[in-house]
């Protein structure tokens, strides 16, 4: 998926929006097998304007059309806000049989423009965080969590955007994109909302918005799921498919700063099929040529691998690649102390 994303960036200036969309839809349906909890947050305030709001809905429909929607695939929540916050689409409130791509697209088309008197982006982030806390799939399932916020970045009522953005990431471990729509975009606030600078997108017209959403969609298919130390993840992957994961190492080094780094152990069991495992501290999608292939040692029925992490390393990325038709496995990531004992 990372290669696909780079190719898209190269060809985007040379290919019309329609033909690009056709290419991406075909590739995404065939290749995007990511399991994801997706949160869409739509600014419906008066400063956005009805035209920009409708364009954002169309861009959202294009995004949904490229994903594999379903209870065990991509689950979606949509928040519509101005001065107040509404949740017109909620995976947990829909019968599983109704949660299909077609139903989801019709619901998006029917989301009304609020023309809100002020912009309560912080409140929308807070509500999304609380919903995720109750209804997101657990971190033990190894599911990526993504949020896309459409806004002009001019919040002026409700909870603090800075505080809620920070809490949204720390509590949900979601990767957040901020897409600037409308006029008079406040870039500083978009940077506050997004988890990374590269997740901030500016668009000047509808064609740019569609292209940006296509690129975001393809990119999200390779975003690794956050996993926490000492929590077992039980999951599976089809053949010829990567599952990507990441461990945030900054908290450990804040509490155990010694100038010498630390050791992480990856302990795994393969219950069915066969997997190849790759790690990297720089590439979020490690694989052949982009990561280190793990050579597991054995301890009884356990497979384990130990890697030294330098103290200034913010993330450890790793992937499981399905070799056979069906591949089921579990793993635990542990920090080790100087004597090899598990921390925590």
pLDDT of 46-85, one tens digit each? 999 999 999 999 999 988 888 888 888 899 999 999 999 9
SS3 of 113-173: CCCECCCCHHHHHHHHHHHHHHHCCCHHHCCEEEEEEEECCCCCCCCCHHHHHHHHHHHHC
Q: Report the side by side order of strands in the sheet with 200-202.
A: 85-90, 74-81, 36-43, 144-151, 175-180, 200-202
21-25, 44-48, 122-126, 146-150: the lowest-pLDDT one:
21-25
pLDDT at position 300: 83
pLDDT at position 253: 81
Considering the domain architecture, whether residues 62 and 204 belong to the same structural domain is answered as: yes
User: Which region, left, alpha or beta, applies to residue 66 given φ > 0 means left and ψ of -120 to 50 means alpha?
Assistant: alpha
pLDDT at position 302: 85
Confirm whether 277 is domain-assigned: yes
pLDDT at position 301: 81
**Is 21's pLDDT higher than 70?**
no
- In the chain, alpha helices (H): 2-11, 17-31, 50-65, 101-109, 121-135, 161-172, 187-193, 206-220, 250-255
Considering the domain architecture, whether residues 202 and 255 belong to the same structural domain is answered as: no
Q: Are 249 and 257 in contact (CB under 8 A)?
A: no
Residue of 82, 95, 174, 172 whose CA lies nearest to 130: 172
Three-state DSSP at 220 gives helix
Highest mean pLDDT among 202-211, 242-251, 274-283: 274-283
Percent of the chain with pLDDT over 90: 66
pLDDT of 319-339, one tens digit each? 999 999 999 999 999 999 877
Residue of 60, 69, 57, 66 whose CA lies nearest to 22: 66
Domain with 300 in it: what CATH number? 2.60.120.680
More confident residue, 147 or 208: 147
pLDDT at position 14: 33
pLDDT at position 32: 67
Of 221, 239, 260, at which residue does a domain stop?
221
pLDDT at position 20: 38
pLDDT at position 316: 96
pLDDT of 150-205, one tens digit each? 999 999 999 999 999 999 999 999 999 999 998 889 999 999 999 999 999 988 88
Please give the residue range of the domain that contains residue 107.
Answer: 30-221
Average pLDDT, the chain: 87
Considering the domain architecture, whether residues 212 and 71 belong to the same structural domain is answered as: yes
Considering the domain architecture, whether residues 311 and 282 belong to the same structural domain is answered as: yes
pLDDT at position 15: 34
Residue 176: strand pairing partners: 147
Confirm whether 202 is domain-assigned: yes
């Amino acid at each position: 998926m990372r290669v696909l994303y780079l190719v898209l960036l190269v060809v985007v200036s040379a290919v019309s929006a329609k033909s690009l969309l056709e290419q991406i839809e075909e590739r995404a349906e065939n290749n995007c097998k990511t399991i994801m909890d997706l949160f869409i947050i739509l600014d419906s305030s008066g400063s956005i304007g009805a035209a920009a709001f409708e364009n954002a809905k169309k861009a959202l429909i294009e995004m949904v059309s490229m994903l594999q929607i379903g209870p065990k695939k991509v689950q979606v929540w949509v928040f519509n806000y101005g001065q107040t916050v509404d949740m017109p689409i909620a995976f947990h409130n829909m019968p599983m049989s109704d949660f299909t791509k077609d139903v989801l697209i019709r619901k998006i088309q029917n989301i009304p423009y609020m023309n809100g008197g002020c912009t309560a982006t912080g409140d929308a982030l807070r509500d999304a965080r609380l919903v995720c806390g109750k209804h997101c799939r657990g971190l033990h399932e190894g599911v990526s969590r993504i949020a896309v916020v459409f806004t002009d970045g001019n919040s002026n009522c409700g909870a603090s955007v800075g505080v809620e953005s920070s809490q949204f990431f720390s509590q949900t471990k979601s990767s957040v994109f901020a897409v600037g729509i409308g006029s008079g975009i406040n870039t500083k606030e978009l940077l506050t909302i997004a988890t990374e600078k590269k997740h901030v997108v500016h668009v000047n017209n509808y064609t740019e918005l569609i292209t940006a959403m296509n690129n975001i969609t393809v990119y999200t298919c390779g975003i690794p799921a956050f996993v926490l130390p000492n929590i077992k993840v039980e999951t599976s992957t089809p053949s010829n498919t990567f599952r990507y994961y990441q461990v945030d190492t900054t908290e450990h080094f804040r509490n155990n700063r010694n100038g010498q780094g630390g050791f992480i152990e990856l302990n795994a069991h393969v219950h069915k099929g066969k997997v190849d495992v790759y790690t990297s501290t720089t590439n979020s999608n490690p694989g052949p040529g982009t990561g280190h292939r793990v050579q597991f040692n054995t301890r009884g029925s356990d497979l384990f691998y130990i890697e030294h992490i330098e103290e200034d390393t913010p993330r450890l990325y790793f992937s499981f690649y399905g070799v056979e038709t069906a591949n089921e496995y579990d793993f635990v990531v542990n920090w080790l102390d100087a004597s090899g004992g598990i921390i925590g």
